[in-house]
């Protein structure tokens, strides 16, 4: 890894902030690195308030969206809540549908089939609405590029309200309302909401018309927090407030569906990381292995026995998903080795047999292994479909835009995207994608970077520091867990490989006669020779708490050693 030490703010600013907050210089430095420069800013960072959330009517078209839903309710129309099959989409559908159903019965949900319909608004979904008498579709986490689909619905006298957070194209669909903070003509103060976040702003606007305050909507924030974590949107601004309160709901009074998932795990208190690695994969597994509607059913269920049944089914899908993704990852790695493609700037692999539901996970695993922009293709009907993943600092969406001539369709974000193309164009596209990336990527980006907040001495690590750092949570892009660096460490003679095949490294570190502190390095088992025989080494790490038989001790969670 490349160790990059973040610039240290001016000492005078550190001293001023430390004095104002009555904290030590290290904490003041970490806050300044997050753009927090005053007592007031620190207060809203450490104590997020629901009153910090923006007025939903600042979002372009919100008034049209609310007006159309009110008209639908007054005229007894049928409303179809439509969303994507991933975590962001299914949580958004569960949120908007369960909110509307709390006072209006004519509401149903629709999740497109990942395999038969693909991503986003589908003609099949519109036909379903037409056949079943729906005159209004609310599309969540998709739709901002569905120009032809919305036009098709118009011909059938079906109106659309779109709630999306993906980048729009040059033209917007002809919908009643297009709620998307990334619209160029939208002045909403925060443009990094996830799809479920945009859905929440919609129910916030609807609620305000009947005298509901934000306090009345807190119970929906468990869904929003889960989507924020799973969709890897920045953990800043409004997202941080929504995630902070959503985690409180998950840990104190989660909806029945979450309770059923949590009951299957041994966790008592969940962090945002637990939400990302425990709850989100299970919700995702439904759409990957079976159908996203199963996830919506679980998240909307109000009977615990029924939810427990749903959660057990989803647990099985997740188990199957895990086995599949391990198997396909192995095959993909073999393909790269045998085609001798390790020298390329990109990783592009294809097998028509691979399961479409797990190619995104496989793309992430390959990116971890070879660390370059990655595409994993499989057959989808008469076309090929792919999931794209990128490396930090490189915009894969832009790269795909420069290959648009070879693509049928594509969409997504800077670091993750999806696309389809004709099989006959696969090799041309592969060649062009390699060309675009090789000409535009800074080669430094092909070595993973670890951003170090500060060099510290082991003696600075205290329970008090840990207590303050815990208040920096929830962590995520824009507010990452602080990583520190310490030099000239030695092991007390305890170092050993642990876990399956001794893949992980466990040791006890000291520095210049300091008290020893335990350390764990996941997947760093191969670094054991560096710390043996009282050799001196440097480490980058975050701080963690290790709980063992009721005792809690501080430990270093090592990211790299040298």
512: left (phi over 0), alpha (psi -120 to 50) or beta: left
pLDDT in tens, 37-57: 999 999 999 999 999 999 999
**Which tens digits make up the pLDDT trace of 147-166?**
999 999 999 999 999 999 99
| Band of residue 372 on the pLDDT scale cut at 50, 70, 90 | very high
Asked whether the bond before 474 is cis by omega within 30 degrees of 0, the reply is: yes
The mean predicted confidence, pLDDT, of the chain is 95
Residue 244 has a pLDDT of: 97
Architecture per CATH, 450-561: Beta Barrel (2.40)
Model confidence at 290, pLDDT cuts 50, 70, 90, reads: confident
pLDDT value, residue 119: 81
Q: Which helix (H) or strand (E) holds 124?
A: helix 123-131
360: confidence class by pLDDT, cuts 50, 70, 90: very high
pLDDT in tens, 381-410: 899 999 999 999 999 999 999 999 999 988
The pLDDT assigned to 384 comes to 96
Chain centroid, CA 124 distance in Å: 28
Class of 339-446 per CATH? alpha beta
Q: How confident is the model at residue 102 (pLDDT cuts 50, 70, 90)?
A: very high
Looking at residue 114, what is its pLDDT? Answer: 84
At 414 the pLDDT is 86
How are beta strands 496-498 and 517-521 bridged, if at all? unpaired
User: What pLDDT score does 547 carry?
Assistant: 82
Q: Do domains 339-446 and 450-561 have the same CATH topology?
A: no
Average pLDDT on 533-555 reads 91
Pairing of strands 551-561, 537-548: antiparallel
- Distances in whole angstroms, Cα of residue 277 to Cα of each of 99, 262, 314: 27, 12, 15
Query: Measuring CA to CA, how many Å separate 481 from each of 46, 272, 359?
Result: 14, 11, 28
Rounded-to-integer distance, Cα 165 and Cα 299, Å: 22
**Consecutive H or E run containing 314:** helix 304-338
| 3 state SS of 75 | coil
Q: How far apart are CA 190 and CA 326, in angstroms?
A: 38
Contact 386, 359 (CB under 8 A): yes
* Residues facing residue 108 across a β-bridge: 80
CATH of region 56-313 = 3.90.1640.30
> Model confidence at 549, in pLDDT bands (50, 70, 90)?
confident
Q: Given pLDDT bands bounded at 50, 70 and 90, which one contains residue 413? A: confident
pTM for the predicted model, two decimal places: 0.91
Query: Which residue pairs, CB below 8 angstroms and at least 24 apart, start in 124-128?
Result: 125/80, 125/82, 126/152, 126/153, 126/156, 126/158, 128/80
Mean pLDDT over residues 50-79, rounded?
98
Taking alpha carbons only, the member of 202, 201, 215 closest to residue 248 is 215
Residue 144 has pLDDT above 80, yes or no: yes
CA dist 70 → 67, 92, 149, 153 (Å): 5, 20, 24, 20
Residue 304's region, left for phi above 0, alpha for psi from -120 to 50, else beta, is alpha
Measure CA 455 to chain center.
Answer: 29
Q: Are 150 and 122 in contact (CB under 8 A)?
A: no
Distance, CA of 460 to CA of 377 (rounded, Å): 49
Rounded CA separation 307/300 (Å): 9
Query: Domain ranges in the chain?
Result: 56-313, 339-446, 450-561
Mean of the pLDDT values across residues 511-537? 95
pLDDT reading at 267 higher than 90? no
Instruction: Name residues whose C-beta falls within 8 Å of residue 281's C-beta, 6 or more positions apart in sequence.
Output: 318, 321
Q: What DSSP letter does each residue of 431-449 carry, written as one string?
A: HHHHHHHHHHS-GGGGS-E
Q: Tell me: the pLDDT tens digits for 222-262? A: 999 999 999 889 999 999 999 999 999 999 999 999 999 99
């Amino acid at each position: 890894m490349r160790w990059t030490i973040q610039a240290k703010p001016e000492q005078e600013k550190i001293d001023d902030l430390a004095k104002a907050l009555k904290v030590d210089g290290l904490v003041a430095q970490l806050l300044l690195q997050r753009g927090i420069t005053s007592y007031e800013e620190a207060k809203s960072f450490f104590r997020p308030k629901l009153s910090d959330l923006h007025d939903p009517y600042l979002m372009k078209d919100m008034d049209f969206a609310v007006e159309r839903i009110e008209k639908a309710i007054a005229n007894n129309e049928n409303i179809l809540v439509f969303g994507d099959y991933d975590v962001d989409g299914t949580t958004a559908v569960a949120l908007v549908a369960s909110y509307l159903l709390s006072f209006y019965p004519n509401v149903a949900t629709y999740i497109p089939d990942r395999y038969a319909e693909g991503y986003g608004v589908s003609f099949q979904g519109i036909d379903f609405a037409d056949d079943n008498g729906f005159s209004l579709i609310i599309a969540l986490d998709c739709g901002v590029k569905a120009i032809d689909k919305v036009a098709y619905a118009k011909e059938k006298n079906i109106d659309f309200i779109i709630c999306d957070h993906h980048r729009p194209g040059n033209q917007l669909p002809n919908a009643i309302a297009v709620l998307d903070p990334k619209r160029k003509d939208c002045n909403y103060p925060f443009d990094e909401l996830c799809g479920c976040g945009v859905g929440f702003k919609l129910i916030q606007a609807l609620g305000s018309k009947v005298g509901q305050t934000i306090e009345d909507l807190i119970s929906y924030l468990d869904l929003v927090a889960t989507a924020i974590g799973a969709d890897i949107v920045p953990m800043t601004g409004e997202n941080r407030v929504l995630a902070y309160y959503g985690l409180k709901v998950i840990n104190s009074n989660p909806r029945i569906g979450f309770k059923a998932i949590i009951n299957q795990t041994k966790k008592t208190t969940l962090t945002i990381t637990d939400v990302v690695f425990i709850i989100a994969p299970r919700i995702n597994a439904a759409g990957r292995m079976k159908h996203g509607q199963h996830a919506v059913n679980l998240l909307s269920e109000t009977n615990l026995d029924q939810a427990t049944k749903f959660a057990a089914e989803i647990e099985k899908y997740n188990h199957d998903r895990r086995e599949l993704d391990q198997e396909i990852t192995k095959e993909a790695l073999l393909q790269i080795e045998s085609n001798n493609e390790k020298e390329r700037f990109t990783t592009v692999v294809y097998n028509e047999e691979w399961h479409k539901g797990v190619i995104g996970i496989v793309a992430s695993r390959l990116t971890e292994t070879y660390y370059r922009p990655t595409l994993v293709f499989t057959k989808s009907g008469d076309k090929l479909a792919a999931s794209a993943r990128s490396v930090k600092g490189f915009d894969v969406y832009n790269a795909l835009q420069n290959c648009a001539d070879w693509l049928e369709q594509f969409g997504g974000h800077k670091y993750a995207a999806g696309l389809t193309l004709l099989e006959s164009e696969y090799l041309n596209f592969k060649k062009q994608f390699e060309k675009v990336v090789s000409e535009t990527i800074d080669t430094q980006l092909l070595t993973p970077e670890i951003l170090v907040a500060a060099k510290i001495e082991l003696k600075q690590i205290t329970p008090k520091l840990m207590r303050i750092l815990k208040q920096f949570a929830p962590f995520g892009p824009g507010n990452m867990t602080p990583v520190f660096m310490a030099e000239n460490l030695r092991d007390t003679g305890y170092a050993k490989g642990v876990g399956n095949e001794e893949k992980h490294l466990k040791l006890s570190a000291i520095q210049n006669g300091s008290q020893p502190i335990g350390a764990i390095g996941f997947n760093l088992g191969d670094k054991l020779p560096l710390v043996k025989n009282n050799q001196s080494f440097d480490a980058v790490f975050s701080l963690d708490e290790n709980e063992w038989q009721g005792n809690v001790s501080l430990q270093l969670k090592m990211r790299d050693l040298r």
